[in-house]
Amino acid sequence: MLGDRGFFGPAQYEWWALYLVIGVLLVALVVAWFVFVSRFSRTRVPRPVVEAPRRPADLRLLQAKYAGLIDEVEAEHRAGRLGDRAVARRLSLLLRFFASEASGVDAQVMTLSDLRLARLPTVTGAVEGYYPPAFRASSETDAAEAVATAREVVRSWN
């Protein structure tokens, strides 16, 4: 067995250190990939809606401001520049901004289910009524009724 030359140690191969480094780097790359995937594909829990109730400086001025904006939407609809879908979308957005300014809740970025959780019943009801005409291709809607609903929400806010 002393004369057996069948096994050659790594020192006899040319570039053996390079192959060792490449192998270690490949293993490190695979481990890094698993860490990356597990870190960035994790399900994130949304932050709870935190209400910070506050009253505006002057509710009457705020109501007058949004009543004027609702009047502008109605005037644009009567002039033919806005369709029923656009009226529903604009009024929904106006009511969300009004609720945000009047209550301090970030209603302008909330979904309908978030609005329900935020306990804004008048705004939620109106926005819920605006969803079918705003999101369906064809929907029977009355723009005058939508405007009247928006006016009532702004007027009855306390």
pLDDT at 151 over 70: yes
> Is residue 45 included in any domain, yes or no?
no
> Is residue 92 included in any domain, yes or no?
yes
Number of domains in the chain: 1
What pLDDT is recorded for position 73?
93
Please state, in angstroms and rounded to a whole number, the distance separating the CA atoms of residues 59 and 52: 17
DSSP 72-115: HHHHHHHTTSS-HHHHHHHHHHHHHHHHHHHH---GGG--HHHH
> Is residue 13 included in any domain, yes or no?
no
Give residue 119's domain range: 59-156
> Is residue 76 included in any domain, yes or no?
yes
The model's pTM: 0.62
> Is residue 18 included in any domain, yes or no?
no
What pLDDT is recorded for position 13?
67
Mean of the per-residue pLDDT values of the chain: 83
Residue pLDDT, tens place only, 96-148: 999 888 888 888 888 888 888 888 888 888 888 887 766 666 666 788 888 99
